[in-house]
Chains A and B, each alone.
Chain A
């Protein structure tokens, strides 16, 4: 089984999803249980994945490699390393919780919702496992249709606008990457070893101008996905209109695919361009952290606030990744670069749990009151004490309180950034204030104070189902916050390898990266 574990992880959810849809709306009870069983089976398959993973080596593991389209050297190649493994497990966990959180909430086309969610899970796991660039692209794009349907069918009043915007933004970003991949493939053809393998792209020599073009092609795809300022505007719309489960998947997993893309493509394939343009990426990341943080402060809609908070937090991921490449040059040790990459990765995983929890929490309130406006609430803690306790915890995590996972990643990134440039680090550290401000202010207005109105007075505290969702997320946030070592250890060899790849100059370097400190 371990030879085809990754294939099972991809196709069990897809097949389960198709069967779930096939159950039809008449038997939606059966469909729900089938979907839940499939997602739990997928999660269970992550156990042998975790235990069988050798955390001492950086090479790809659980590799499967078959010819797919021989005429164009496209291969079905799967594998996981220290970057992919945590993200695969995150995907499997979040999907189970998404299905549970949707259990009684989704009331139309139930079988289709559960089925499409599972199909989406399969595609997302596929993205993280693909080692062939075309296979990666296929999964990367295939995700769009299920998400398009999730927002469009089960979303809020303005869902059509939001979902089409989501689709076109991400589609536009990724077609540039497609042309980039075709270019890279034709380069391998010219050198006589035609291949779409990501590893052969990574080791391919490229001129500086080609690297810059490719860097921007990749940037278009991943900056939209993650999303970075200024191509982030689809995200608040999509989040606000998406159903709770859709928002959870979007924030917890889909955004991570952007960060994962930078790790897989931008940094190793175009290291020199990445280093030269690191200043741009760092600047955009800082804008995301500070400016978007301020924007979040002004939001009246809870989902919109969390969406902006997501953009701001993902700014730390791009900051960590691109400060790492600045730190990888002109240094005797790569420790600082390692720290930055680890910080970015921990931030991704941590944000996956925290943002999923925040959206699930808003979903809990929305299901009862049918409003996402902050002003519609007040004093919720009086009627929903358990819920309020959990949400205050998540709010603390979101604002980076030590002891929660939110602290670990941000702290590592800031620490590493300080070694490159104190001012940038100081700017990034502002998030600790801003994050606390917008999150806690929202918590204050929603949960504390007098009971605001009759709706709040009639609220019932969370039931067992909701407690399972929020409780398990709280457990993960706390676990990573207190004991991040297993997570950091499992990615360590891969982090070292990436940092090493960053230092390999593909072209003779004449320009020093803008952010590198003088030796």
Chain B
């Protein structure tokens, strides 16, 4: 167990994050509405310092057990954590403006986001089912509260309620699957479960447990048929909460998938690959077809997320290190694109005007060509048009699918990408081809404009220079 402070060094990132959570909590008590911006500053500093701590300890192939084997500090966890922090920092910048315009600028938002980040940290580095579940619930509970942040909005309350009920059921199912595995192996340690499962267990029981575990996982990702919460949450929650829930947890979910599937159940890889392939197929089809019918941009992005989860699952087939590296790359680029798209929505929204109908973007190019161009880049990147980075992440996951022996699924996915292109193009069409019907105000604060510009240009920059990033992912996972 813990014998000296030096033993705590590997969990320094978590400790720093926790310290800043407490700092935010205390500061919130003493600042009034006008000076609440300071909470934003503290949170960003906290994220940056945590990131520094993650990077400093990064060493490829190295893994250190901590807290008596409950958690592990390894390069995989560090990589995912750094990405989570990056995305969260971007999200907070967008969220600040949204919270202000919708009169929701409260300290609780920052607190809940930081708690969710802490939950994700525990999730991605757990080596024990209890720890994993703890992280998952910390993330989920913060998420429920974030969705319900605007308590006077009936639609937000409805979304939170749905999210909570479905989420609680999924957690329960996951817990049930874990308990069966505990019954088989007599242990909650992931490596011990892996050894126990590999030897002479009844296939039926294992398949039973595996199914429940995957249900929990699929819910977290939002894969069909466990996707129902996504459109409601995206549409109903305050945009500030949506942009967070839509992005960072997807990166964390890769860590969760890794700990649960190749980590705990490596001997069942053929079985879970098959199930994941089926979920990928369903997500790709439903996500893309349903998105076509949407007129609300947020709902469209929700179904687009479901289809991206389908693509992401292609990278998880086979459970190889290269596949997971591709998945990480995919999740990061997906998070950047989606955060950017929500950033544009936030930048255009005002008090009483959500800017979430696709028709609200009519003629944007004639009013604000730069903003329209950023949205063009984001949409084209989501559609997977080279040389934008969204194409290359699709390339990697398709490659993994072919490598895993799922050539047919790769072909289906490629066709789905074409279907998907249709609704992304429709946004471009509205912005560029239609005449403006009203004045569009673009009066976002400077930091948001700056980050949004970078976010858009990153689609090109990463598209041309994705080599180092993907090399980093491979380095961490191999």
Partner-B contacts on A (CB < 8 A): 24, 68-72, 109, 112, 134, 137-138, 141-142, 144-145, 148-149, 152-153, 159-160, 163-164, 167-168, 171-172, 175-176, 178-179, 182-183, 185-186
Contact = CB atoms under 8 A, between A and B. Distances in A.
A153 B407 contact: no
B295 interface: no
Contacts of B421: 167-168, 171
A148 B418 contact: no
A141 B384 CA distance: 10
20 contacts: A24-B369, A69-B466, A69-B470, A70-B467, A109-B366, A112-B365, A112-B369, A138-B391, A145-B385, A149-B428, A149-B432, A153-B365, A160-B433, A167-B425, A171-B418, A172-B418, A179-B407, A179-B414, A182-B395, A182-B402
A142 B418 contact: no
Contacts of A72: 396, 399, 470
Interface string B387-402: 1000110011011001
B415 A152 contact: no
| A-B CB proximity, top 7 nearest | A175-B414, A138-B386, A69-B467, A152-B433, A172-B418, A141-B386, A182-B399
Contacts of A109: 365-366
B429 interface: yes
Contacts of A112: 365, 369
Contacts of B289: none
Nearest to B383: A171
A191 to B, nearest CB: 15
A142 B386 CA distance: 5
Interface residues of B, number: 35
Listed residue (B380, B387, B398) with the most chain A CB atoms within 10 angstroms of its CB: B387
B385 A183 contact: no
A113 to B, nearest CB: 12
B410 A145 contact: no
B19 interface: no
A409 to B, nearest CB: 32
B467 A142 contact: no
B60 to A, nearest CB: 14
Nearest to A111: B369
B417 interface: yes
Contacts of A163: 429, 433
Contact of A138 (B365, B387, B471): B387
Listed residue (B365, B387, B395, B432) with the most chain A CB atoms within 10 angstroms of its CB: B395
Nearest to A173: B418
Contacts of B52: none
Contacts of A164: 422, 425, 429
Contacts of A152: 429, 432-433
B433 A159 contact: yes
Given A71-B467, A141-B391, A186 B386 contact: no
A144 B385 contact: yes
A182 B397 CA distance: 11
Main secondary structure of the interface of B (DSSP, over half): helix
B154 to A, nearest CB: 37
Interface of B: 365-366, 369, 376, 380, 385-387, 391-392, 395-396, 398-399, 402-403, 407, 410-411, 414-415, 417-418, 421-422, 425, 428-429, 432-433, 466-467, 470-471, 474
Contacts of A145: 376, 380, 385
A506 B170 CA distance: 53
Contacts of B410: 179, 182
A263 B106 CA distance: 63
Contacts of A134: 395
Contacts of B474: 71
A144 B398 CA distance: 21
Contacts of A171: 418, 421
A457 to B, nearest CB: 34
B385 A179 contact: no
A179 B467 CA distance: 21
B422 to A, nearest CB: 6
Contacts of B392: 69
B398 A182 contact: yes
B436 to A, nearest CB: 13
B283 to A, nearest CB: 18
A185 B399 CA distance: 9
Contacts of B425: 148, 164, 167
Contacts of A71: 467, 470-471, 474
B398 A179 contact: yes
B414 A176 contact: yes
B385 A175 contact: no
A160 B414 CA distance: 24
A175 B417 contact: yes
A192 to B, nearest CB: 16
Contacts of B411: 176, 179
B374 to A, nearest CB: 13
Nearest to B472: A71
B22 to A, nearest CB: 41
A167 B429 CA distance: 12
Nearest to A123: B387
B470 A142 contact: no
Contacts of A137: 386
Given A70-B471, A137-B386, A186 B403 contact: yes
A304 to B, nearest CB: 22
A31 B428 CA distance: 24
Contact of B402 (A142, A176, A186): A186
A153 B363 CA distance: 11
B289 to A, nearest CB: 14
Nearest to A137: B386
A160 B415 contact: no
A178 B398 contact: yes
A137 B386 CA distance: 8
A179 B415 CA distance: 10
B428 A148 contact: yes
A19 B470 CA distance: 31
B418 A175 contact: yes
Nearest to A213: B407
A481 B400 CA distance: 51
Contacts of B369: 24, 112
A172 B422 CA distance: 11
B124 to A, nearest CB: 23
